[in-house]
A = this chain, B = another copy of it.
């Protein structure tokens, strides 16, 4: 452990656990990651996992405030926290924190997810991404990007629009999961030979996502027929389908955003292989993909902790 931490932040999702010792300036002093997502916690004993993963941190600084975000605050998690309605920024999230004491007497502060009822009356939700988005904004100079579009790629990717530090709109796209089930279980998957990334095929999928009339249900079949007509090798079908789906998501998201992205710039949070694909896809769609902070979660946790008065 190096440096003086002002906060311990936990980003606890469905499949992974990440803990941060965070300095008062937002710097991450130490990180602990484990494949201990909430669905893999034996007997729902979250406290035992916490002790196992960061016991020494807890023992070394018994009074350090702790902020916890992610699916850990869902019904399947440790403590269900009701959604905070959108628009929301760090102040609203801080005001909706839920405090919970562990058996050992440690006080944890759980960050709520956000809900948004669309103009069509249909709700949407995020949990965990709100903290990342707030953290992403923390890195900005005042007024630098007052209104911007942000995407968080993932199994369910999330798009958000922020204005003056508050999330004013977001939407969920099931792109990653649709890709996975089609690849594993559909006729398209049975035509694929491997999934090594093929950049040209990915680009072709992106391009077809923007072509002509109709929508995704019609375009999907092209992943079969292009193979059938020897225009696409079996080894390239997975990349083509990935491009077609991500490209379709971008078309849909641009159509949904409350306004066009300022300076034609879209921020991509995340540094995975998938985030890299999204950046390429956004560039191909004629926008500029900006790379978000690697420390969006801990930065957001710090900002929320400060807004809640947990730290100076």
Contacts and interface: CB of A to CB of B under 8 A. Distances in A.
A119 B255 CA distance: 24
A194 B23 CA distance: 51
- Give the number of copies in the complex: 2
A123 interface: yes
A185 B184 contact: yes
Contacts of A252: 213-218
Interface residues of A, number: 46
A213 B181 contact: no
B125 A172 contact: no
Interface stretch (A224-232, A268-276, A295-303): A224-232
Contact of A174 (B175, B220, B245): B220
A288 interface: no
B120 A221 contact: no
A58 interface: no
Given A171-B214, A181-B185, A212-B118, A221 B256 contact: no
A220 B185 CA distance: 18
Contacts of A130: none
Interface of A: 118-120, 122-125, 156, 171-175, 177-178, 181-182, 184-187, 208, 211-218, 220-222, 225-226, 228-229, 231, 245, 248-249, 251-253, 255-256
